[in-house]
Structure 1
Amino acid sequence: MNNSTQAPGVTRTDGAGVRPTARTTAEAIAHSIRADIIGGRYESGERLRQVEIAKEYDVSTTPVREAFGLLQRQGLVQLHPQRGASAVVPNKRDLDELYEIRIELECLAVQRAAENFTPEDAVPLRALIERMRACKDAEEHVELNHRFHMGIYRVAQRARLYDMIEQLRASSKAYLQITSGRAVQLPGDFEHEHDDIIDACEANDPSWAARATRDHLRITVRDAKEELDNADTARDRADIRAVL
């Protein structure tokens, strides 16, 4: 049994390779379980049994437990004191509800930020955009993206609004994880949208800032739905193969 937490990757007992570029065994396992959750292997709320998964990857339970922690931060696993870990499966209904609320609150926040914005506020935010352009790691891109948006909303100087948005964005992590791969593969598309938001804020134009933010978030919803549809298609094909 492989107990190392520094291995570059792991292999499932079914022979499938698992993210050989991962920095640790826990990250490799988390990446694989993430794909299984998004791909429909687990039902929403289904228990993820630590011992069984450890056997599947031929590792001790330690990196599996660490993988659950990583996935919890991504919004794809819920950890219960009594029941252990369970899968959080993204779906389009929850996606629509979350972003319906987020769009209104984030547009309000960016309008207030645009009213207060100074050239000095733009400097660290544009640096984050450049880091996102150069970023090749999907999970790091999610974190940089979060820092970018919350950095703008902090300028709004509305503490309650900021906290509400941060809570909603935390609930949206699973959907951001879904679109993060595309963001890394096509950085120009995503970062041009971020440029537009900052340009509007620097121009102290609340209407433009809200429009750019609304467009950006709607594109995120569209991309997340496409990824969910792709997962549904892959699941259907697997079911057909199983029947045949």
Structure 2
Amino acid sequence: MSQLQQIERNTTAAEVARVLRQRILGGLYQEGEFLRQESIAQELGVSRLPVREALALLEAEGFVIREKYRGALIPKLSIKEVREIYSLRNMVEPYLLEHALPHLTAEHLSKAKEHLAASRSCQDLSQWAELNWAFHKTLYEPANLPLAMQVLEQLLLRADRYLKMQRSLSMESLAESHAEHQSLIDLIEEGKFVEAVDALRKHIVWNEHDVAQTFDRARKG
């Protein structure tokens, strides 16, 4: 196989993974449903090979579980996974913020405020999730800790299904999240770095509790 063919195949697999990921997050594919390579390949007009590679990528991200002869299963949402994701986030995010704070500039804060303002008026859940990540990413990137950022991105990918369920069911959660983000910015601008890190930890704990409660309500409903 030529290098060009390898690049084209990898690009196709990444694009198939992107499409399938959006469908899972958007609820088009339901938990407990099996995705089959043949059907996806036919629908998207690609060969089975990039579909298989896309499903392998999604499995590594926690979006599917591949089962021999049956296809790729959309796993059920789990309160245990919620707890683990947020416990890990509460280790990684304060670590990133602590290292970023001495290097944050007025430009970083202005950009974070822009993302926050855009998220307040956003009606689309997928776009809201992107703005939420952009807000946090802007505050963490000055830490210059690419491995920690990579770990966090993987955690947020795993959390995305839960977050979108939470946001779709609770407008109060959105308002509270925006208020806590604004408070975080205020503390940073006031130079209260210890308080800012503490506020971030509390924000993550609040988010965990809110997601867990929403998850419980959705299951009972």
Work out which of the residue numbers 110, 120, 139 in structure 2 matches 1:123: 110
Contact kept in structure 2, 1:114 and 1:200, CA below 8 Å: no
- 1:208 is aligned to 2:190: no
Partner of 1:226: 213
Amino acid at match of 1:137: D
Partner of 2:79: 92
Post-superposition Cα deviations, 1:77-96, rounded to whole Å, max 9, x if no partner, equal 42759754311222111111
Q: Structure 1 residues 228 and 183 mapped into 2: Cα distance closer, same or farther (>3 Å)? A: closer
Question: Structure 2: 5+ residue runs without aligned partners?
Answer: 1-21, 46-50
Work out which of the residue numbers 75, 84, 92 in structure 2 matches 1:105: 92
Contact kept in structure 2, 1:113 and 1:201, CA below 8 Å: no
Amino acid at match of 1:150: K
Give, in whole Å, the separation in 2 of the partners of 1:205 and 1:122: 14
SS of the aligned residue for 1:85 comes to strand
Partner of 2:152: 165
Q: Structure 1 residues 164 and 204 mapped into 2: Cα distance closer, same or farther (>3 Å)? A: farther
1:210 shift after superposition: 1.2
Q: Structure 1 residues 107 and 171 mapped into 2: Cα distance closer, same or farther (>3 Å)? A: same
Q: Structure 1 residues 195 and 167 mapped into 2: Cα distance closer, same or farther (>3 Å)? A: same
Work out which of the residue numbers 100, 104, 123 in structure 2 matches 1:136: 123
Contact kept in structure 2, 1:105 and 1:165, CA below 8 Å: yes
Give, in whole Å, the separation in 2 of the partners of 1:94 and 1:29: 17
Aligned-residue RMSD, C-alpha: 3.5
1:62 shift after superposition: 4.9
1:186 shift after superposition: 5.3
What is the TM-score when the length of structure 2 is the normalising length?
0.70
Partner of 2:184: 197
Give, in whole Å, the separation in 2 of the partners of 1:188 and 1:129: 11
Amino acid at match of 2:193: P
1:47 shift after superposition: 2.2
Matches within 5 A, 1:5-44: 31-33=26-28, 36-37=30-31, 42=32
Partner of 2:14: none
Give, in whole Å, the separation in 2 of the partners of 1:32 and 1:205: 41
1:192 shift after superposition: 0.8
1:232 shift after superposition: 2.1
Give, in whole Å, the separation in 2 of the partners of 1:198 and 1:165: 20
Give, in whole Å, the separation in 2 of the partners of 1:170 and 1:186: 19
1:48 shift after superposition: 3.9
Structure with a larger share of its residues in helix: 2
1:156 shift after superposition: 1.7
Q: Structure 1 residues 133 and 89 mapped into 2: Cα distance closer, same or farther (>3 Å)? A: same
What is the TM-score when the length of structure 1 is the normalising length?
0.64
1:28 shift after superposition: 8.6
SS of the aligned residue for 2:130 comes to helix
Matches within 5 A, 1:142-161: 142-161=129-148
Q: Structure 1 residues 217 and 206 mapped into 2: Cα distance closer, same or farther (>3 Å)? A: same
Q: Structure 1 residues 76 and 228 mapped into 2: Cα distance closer, same or farther (>3 Å)? A: farther
Identical aligned residues as a percent: 22
